[in-house]
Amino acid sequence: MSSSEPTRARPAPASAPASPVRRVLAQSRFEARALLGRSEQVLLALVLPALALVLLSATDAVDLGLGGSRIDTIAPGVLALAVLATAFTAQAIMTAFDRRAGVLRLLATTPLGPGGLLGGSVGGVVVVQVVQTVLLGGLALGIGWRPAVVAIPAAILAGFLATATFTALALLLAGTLRAEAVLGVANLLFVLLAAGGAVLLPAANLPGPFAAIAPYLPTGALGEALRTSLATGAFPARDLAVLAVWAVLTSLATRRWFRWF
């Protein structure tokens, strides 16, 4: 007669918390879906830059003050405008109203933290910007834009540094002001920077002291970096250095002063 020993139940494996990278990637997916799923964000991120590209390239009412093809100057500026619209204005407004609705209060109970929220927001914005670049770049190529291919890596680096800067500024604004104030301030800053921040037009076209100040703003550094690299093929060392400094300073400020509720 055989006997069998009772089977001892094995303890269930302990569930390990998600790594910081996985948490940031999950937040990036959430941010990208939120940005692409709102019609007003699509209007701001795609429709307005596309209109600016078509109108500025079709008319010479705005004097660019430069030789060569207009589209070679306008297309990089429109890409810079799209980065500003998505990484700053859209992100600030969306985060501010999420904060008012209590979404950020829930996130505050998770291990994400301000640094993880910033990283996830940057990742989500980068996904949206890939879509923007493909669509707006394709439209510009159809109009006649011929960028300097050799300088594309420098342009990508400039776009990433600017995205980190604008997203950090957006979170800083959304995490310190009321949602209604963020709505007004973010839209006002978008208009002012688009018109006078050397985004669409070169800094040399701005009047008086603005021409000297604009290249040291994050908007001006991005616009000049994209125009320098994509139009001439040169490496925009100064503009990249300016963007790197802004990215570090704004990230530190966001980690210091961002409030979840």
Question: In 3D, which of 97, 85, 87 has the Cα closest to residue 43?
Answer: 85
Q: 91 — phi, psi (to 5°)?
A: -65, -40
Read off the pTM: 0.86
pLDDT above 90 covers a percentage of the chain that reads: 51
Q: Helix axis angle, 179-196 relative to 70-84, nearest 10°?
A: 170
Point out the residues of the chain with pLDDT beneath 70: 1-17, 61-68
Q: What is the pLDDT of residue 61?
A: 60
Residue 235, class by beta-carbon neighbours within 10 Å (0-12 exposed, 13-18 middle, 19+ buried)? Answer: middle
Q: 26 — phi, psi (to 5°)?
A: -65, -40
Q: What is the pLDDT of residue 83?
A: 95
Q: What is the pLDDT of residue 14?
A: 45
Q: What is the pLDDT of residue 24?
A: 86
Cβ-contact 193, 183 below 8 angstroms: no
Cβ-contact 201, 119 below 8 angstroms: no
pLDDT per residue as tens digits for the range 49-97: 999 999 888 877 666 655 567 898 899 999 999 999 999 999 999 999 9
Q: What is the mean pLDDT of the chain?
A: 86
Q: What is the pLDDT of residue 103?
A: 82
Q: What is the pLDDT of residue 171?
A: 93
